[in-house]
Amino acid sequence: MKDRFLRALKRQPVDKTPIWLMRQAGRYLPEYRATREKAGNFLALCKTPELACEVTLQPLTRYALDAAIIFSDILTIPDAMGLELSLIENVGPVFNKSIKNIDQIKQLDVPDPYDKLNYVAKAITLVKKELNDTPLIGFAGSPWTLAAYMVEGRSSRDFAKVKKLSYSEPDSMHLLLQKLSVAVTSYLKMQIEAGADAIMLFDTWGGLLSESNYENLSLNYMGKILRSLEPTGIPTIVFTKGGGMWLDKISRIGSTCVGLDWMTDIKVAKQIIGHKVALQGNLDPAIMLTTKTIIEKETKNILDSYGIGNGHIFNLGHGITPDVPPENVKYLVDFVHSYSQKFHD
């Protein structure tokens, strides 16, 4: 059943619970590491459509996944805005130029995606030719999460610089978020035009905010983006890491599906919002480091908690980590498909 993922997003009946994994193309796969080596570095891999296509398809060759996600990164937008992204081993993403003041924000140009990010559209076109009806997910970072990296200049434990800016210069922060919302919207429209079948917004750092700031700085902007995408009819997934306390609010901004991190009980999430949206998640990624017995027990727990009913897409609660044994992924994917049949007609 090739449309299992798209049907589950629409809460329509399926034969088995669909599954894909955040960061399914990545360093835990030796063939990914080989292609990245060939590209030279991570960003070159993102910017070479043939190679980005190759790594997008790698996990689908190995596993019976129900969706592909285009290989790219959320930080391609700030890179296209001139911040000069690089990925440094053991540090993570670093911008050569970070955002420090209002003048820099005023000067930022919203990039034309067809010019500066066309490599992503090309990669999508190539992947779609190879996929033969398996759906392809396009994605972007939420404006807040992108702003967090742009102001901080790199990953951070507490993102204190961007929070300081939000409190001390709210107008500057909103100007930045406004520009990023326009950039994300046109970037996602380009991905849809190129063939993306569903769209996911990654709000990795929304959970760092107070409830009112979450609404004000993250949720509202994501809602705006979703409203602009509505006429396309493409299903959407919103994922806020650490957003478990705000599920009701998150479910009301117009997405088709809400992504859950591993901290939320999926049974509770289903009770709160499962009648409004589909749910995606939510196995703790650390479980993938253990044994088949433990993976089976914890996976059963999630599938049993969701129970009978449409609208569940199995996933991890965050991205898969580089030290996961590839055979554990095969075990997980096959187990989800076999065990979940009893929850569907």
Residues that bind ligand CP3 (CB under 6 A): 22-27, 36, 42, 69, 71, 73-75, 87, 92-93, 139, 155, 202, 204, 319
Q: Which residues are 282's β-sheet partners?
A: 315
Options 28, 32, 63, 149, the catalytic residue:
149
Task: Output b/e per residue, 170-195; b: 16+ Cβ within 10 A.
Answer: eebbbebbebbbebbbbbbbbbbebb
Q: Measured from the CB of residue 32, what is the shortest distance to ligand CP3 in angstroms?
A: 7
Closest CA to 29 of 64, 58, 61, 66: 58
Separation CA 154–CA 90 (nearest Å): 12
Q: Say whether 7 is catalytic.
A: no
Between 86 and 310, name the residue whose CB sits nearer to ligand CP3: 86
Helix locations, 12-159, DSSP H: 30-39, 42-47, 49-62, 76-78, 102-107, 113-116, 118-131, 143-152
Separation CA 155–CA 159 (nearest Å): 8
Q: Which amino acid is at 132?
A: N
DSSP3 helix / strand / coil % (the chain, rounded to 5): 55, 10, 30
Q: Say whether 23 is catalytic.
A: yes
Number of other CB atoms surrounding residue 323 within 10 Å? 9
Options 4, 7, 11, 23, the catalytic residue:
23
Q: Is the separation of the CB atoms in 66 and 5 below 8 Å? A: yes
Between 25 and 253, name the residue whose CB sits nearer to ligand CP3: 25
Options 7, 36, 221, 306, the catalytic residue:
36
Between 148 and 270, name the residue whose CB sits nearer to ligand CP3: 148
Q: Measured from the CB of residue 239, what is the shortest distance to ligand CP3 in angstroms?
A: 8
Q: Measured from the CB of residue 92, what is the shortest distance to ligand CP3 in angstroms?
A: 4
Closest CA to 123 of 191, 40, 183: 191
Q: Measured from the CB of residue 293, what is the shortest distance to ligand CP3 in angstroms?
A: 27
Between 34 and 245, name the residue whose CB sits nearer to ligand CP3: 34
Between 11 and 250, name the residue whose CB sits nearer to ligand CP3: 250
Q: Is the separation of the CB atoms in 48 and 23 below 8 Å? A: no
- Within 8 A by CB and 6+ apart from 257, the residues are 9, 235, 236, 237, 238, 277, 278, 279, 280, 311, 313
Closest CB to ligand CP3 belongs to which residue?
Answer: 204
Between 25 and 247, name the residue whose CB sits nearer to ligand CP3: 25
Q: Measured from the CB of residue 149, what is the shortest distance to ligand CP3 in angstroms?
A: 7
Q: Say whether 252 is catalytic.
A: no
Q: Which amino acid is at 21?
A: L
- The strand pair at 92-95 and 85-88 is best described as antiparallel
Options 11, 63, 66, 73, the catalytic residue:
73
Q: Is the separation of the CB atoms in 284 and 298 below 8 Å? A: yes
Q: Measured from the CB of residue 292, what is the shortest distance to ligand CP3 in angstroms?
A: 23
Q: Say whether 27 is catalytic.
A: yes
Between 95 and 274, name the residue whose CB sits nearer to ligand CP3: 95
Q: Measured from the CB of residue 190, what is the shortest distance to ligand CP3 in angstroms?
A: 16
The residues that are catalytic are 23, 27, 36, 73, 149
